[in-house]
Amino acid sequence: MSSNKGACLVCGKPLQYFDKPMLMECEYCHNSFESYAACEDGHFICDNCHTEKGVNAIIELCLKSSSKNPVELIQKIMNSPYIYMHGPEHHIMVGASLLTAYKNSGGDIDLKDALDEMKSRGSKYPGGSCGYWGCCGAAVSTGMFFSIITKTTPLSSLSWGQGNLITSNALKAIGEIGGPRCCKRNSFTAIISAVEFVKEYLNIEMELPKNIRCGYSAQNKQCLGKRCPYNKESINPIKD
C-alpha cells in the first residue's frame, strides 16, 4: 500500500491549492502547465507523470482479474505502490474496475479494447475537478464506463440519457456525504451507485461486498472519520 498521504511526490510536504491557476513546470518532464496546486516548496508534478506507473498497474491488474466485484478489484489496485492516496488515476481506476467486473459478470465487451478506451478518456479528466468543477472524476468515470459498454456517442438516444443518469446518481451519492475530498471514499461510492444502476438498466448483476471498510484513513489528513460510511467506526455504515 502506498505511503503517500496526498503530499508532494518530490519532498513529501503538504500540497497547497490556489484560487486561480498558476503556470508551473513539472519536476519530472519539465513541461509547463497551468495548475491549481503545488507543494509548500513550490514543487509541481503534472497529471501524466503522477499517474503513469499507476495507470499501467491498473490495466495489468484488470486484465488478470476474474473478479465480478469491482470494489474488491479496486481495493486490490489501490494497494499497488504506484497508486497514491489521492490523484487523477482514480478517474481511470473506477471505470476500469467496473469494466472488468462487468465483463466477468457476463457483459459482452472486448475488455482489452474497453480498458484502452477507459485509459484514454479518464486521462483527459483533470485532478482537482471535484473541487474546482463541482464534478468528481470518480463519478464521471462511471459515465465513461457506461458510454463504453453501450457504445454511446453524442448522437445516441436512450443510452445518452442513461449515461448522464449514471453519472448524476454517483455525483449525488458523493455529494451527500460531503467533503473534503477523498479519492478512496468517492471511488467506493461511485462504484456502488454504478453497480446498482447497471443491474436496473442493463440486467447485468455485478457483486458487492457485504461490508466495505476503508484501510486508508491514516494516510488521509482530511479523513472524515466517523462521518465516512466506510470508516471502521462509522455511525452510518453503507452495508452491514
List the domain boundaries for the chain. 67-227
As a whole number of angstroms, the distance between CA 159 and CA 31 comes to 38
pLDDT of residue 98: 98
Per cent of the chain over pLDDT 90 is 63
Burial class (CB in 10 A: 0-12, 13-18, 19+), 98: buried
Question: How many CA atoms are closer than 13 Å to the CA of 141, on its beta-carbon side?
Answer: 37
pLDDT of residue 235: 55
Mean pLDDT of 24-30: 83
Whether 111 has a pLDDT exceeding 90, the answer reads yes
Q: How confident is the model at residue 1 (pLDDT cuts 50, 70, 90)?
A: very low
pLDDT of residue 61: 96
Q: Residue 82 in contact with residue 2, Cβ under 8 Å?
A: yes
Which residues contact residue 113 at a Cβ distance below 8 angstroms, ignoring those fewer than 6 apart? none
Cell reading at 138: 470518480
pLDDT of residue 229: 94
User: Would you call the peptide bond into 180 cis, given omega within 30 degrees of 0 as the criterion?
Assistant: yes
Mean pLDDT of 155-174: 98
